[in-house]
Each structure stands twice: as C-alpha cells, then as structure tokens.
Amino acid sequence: MNWQELTESIQAGDARSLARAISLVENEYPGYEQLLQSLPASSTRIIGITGPPGAGKSTLVDALIALLTATGKKIGVLCVDPSSPFNLGALLGDRIRMSDWYTHPNVFIRSLATRGSMGGLHPKIIEISDLMKTFPFDHIIVETVGVGQSEIEIAGLADVTVVVVVPEAGDEIQTMKAGLMEIADIFVVNKADRPDADHFVRNLQQMLAPAFSRNYHEIPVVKTVASKKEGIAELLNILQHSIQKAHVSEKHCWLLAEKAYHLIEQKRMKDVDKAALKKEVETLYLQGNFNLYKFVSAK
C-alpha cells in the first residue's frame, strides 16, 4: 500500500481516504505505523468535550457544529461511545443525536468504541486524532464517554478542555475530584434554564477561586441551554480565545510529552498477553507460595 498517496489524499480533503486511514489504524493493519510516520506537522487544535452522562454534551456539540458550519468552517468530530459488552462495538448514540450532520459536506463524524479501555477513551485515540489533524479541518472536537478517568485522559489529548456539568450536580460539585478542576479550561453549566442554576454557578465559581491564584488565570464558567442554542455563541467566543492562547503557551509541549508517554507505553506493552499471563499465574498459584512481585520481576 502506498502510504504517501493516502496521506496526500487526506491532506487534499478526501473524506473517504480519511475514513479508510482511520479504519486501518484502528484495526492495526500491517504497516500502519508507516502511515503515521508520514503525517506532516499540523497546527489544528483539538477541543475536548467531557463531563458526566446526561449533561448534554452531544447536544452541545451539535449546537457548536451548527454555529461553525454557518460560517463555512469544516468540522471533524470524534465521538467516543461506550462499547457494547458483547462485541466491543460502539453503541453509536452520539451519531444518532448528530444525524443532521452525517451527510453535511463540511462535517466529518466518526464514532469510536472504548473497546474496554479503562479510561473511557479509545486505545488508538491519539493516532486517530493526529490523522484528523492532517485533514483540512478548521476545528476538531473530541467528545468523551464521560466515565472513569476519561475526564483526566482528555486533558492529555485536547488543547482546550471543556467540562460540561448540570445544575443537578449541586452536591456533587462539593466532592468533585481535584483533577477535574485542574484539567478544565472552560466549565459549561448546561441546562441552565433549570431551577437553582444561578446558585450552582456561584458555588462553582467559589470553588474555582482558589485555583485562580495557582493557575494565574480565571477559568470561565458559561451558562448554556444547548437544546435551545442559548449561550452557544458566547461559548464559541471563549473557545476561540482559549485556542489562540494554546498556541503560545507551553501546555502544547506538555501535551506532546503526554502523548509520547502513552505511545511508548503501548509499544512496550504490545507483546504482553493478558490471557497468557493469567495461565502462568494460575499454574504457579496452584503450585503454592506464589509471589506476585517475584513473578513481575522475572518478566
């Protein structure tokens, strides 16, 4: 296969070539590493959207797409769906909600299954997002499944991270993980037409106040009603400002280092077979006097 030709087709804006390349990487087609190594540098930034299930992330993304396409922008969207427990395939809920854009010439949507990944992101999300950056998109949006550690993982992937919450999370905000507070570049309080939304926003801003002194910048809190397209224009303005700041900050180098770490980790763990490990452990354990740390040290 001529990987260079495929790369050039993606750069030229051929959506079929992009879809094919993603499938080749996702399924680890022999030689796919050559494709990745041929990818040119890209300045396209990734917007990460995360938050708990039911917060309205997909509706928010749908509203952002509408606003961006109205100005002629090309948008790439990666939706990381929960895996089916039976075949590890994506349940495709996000694609159903965004069905209006599926055939739009300026919108490319790809649903990815978590495939059992503990963190909630697809195991090839870094490689696939870099393929997306090769295509002439104006913006790339990655929406996570919003479970486990995916909120933290998305910070290692996106240049700007949006955390979406709802007013009903009132009590939960008091016990929100410090890590979630740290990774958010923007907080969105969606469904802000519900009771106590203003009170919730004030509490959130008070919780974020100590972070201001550490980070030397204020984390914006934006109220939206995504289903009614309310607050979306304000959110987009703040997003664009944050993306511009990402170009001149050292965060980008940290993001690249984080990606490199995960890719090196995957490469070194590639030959480790969990099923084979289980058999070895089982055999040694039944023999008695099994020591986990000696077992690991011998590997």
What is the gyration radius of the CA atoms in the chain, in angstroms? 21
pLDDT at 179: 55
The Cα 33–Cα 266 span in angstroms is 13
The pTM (predicted TM-score) of the whole model is 0.81
Give every CB contact of residue 129 below 8 A, 6+ residues apart in sequence. Answer: 46, 78, 140, 142, 157
pLDDT at 86: 36
Handedness of CA 98, 100, 103, 104 (dihedral sign): negative
Token pair in block for residue 217: 């910048």
Could you say which DSSP state residue 39 is in?
Answer: P
Could you say which DSSP state residue 90 is in?
Answer: B
Divide the 299 residues of the chain into consecutive groups of 10 and give the mean pLDDT of each group.
91 96 92 91 90 86 94 92 45 55 90 57 82 96 68 73 82 56 85 90 80 62 95 96 72 74 85 90 91 88
Instruction: Residue count of the chain, please give it.
Output: 299
Task: Give the rounded distance of the alpha carbon of 73 from its chain centre.
Answer: 20
Task: Give the rounded distance of the alpha carbon of 35 from its chain centre.
Answer: 22
Residue where the block lists tokens 């696939």 = 128
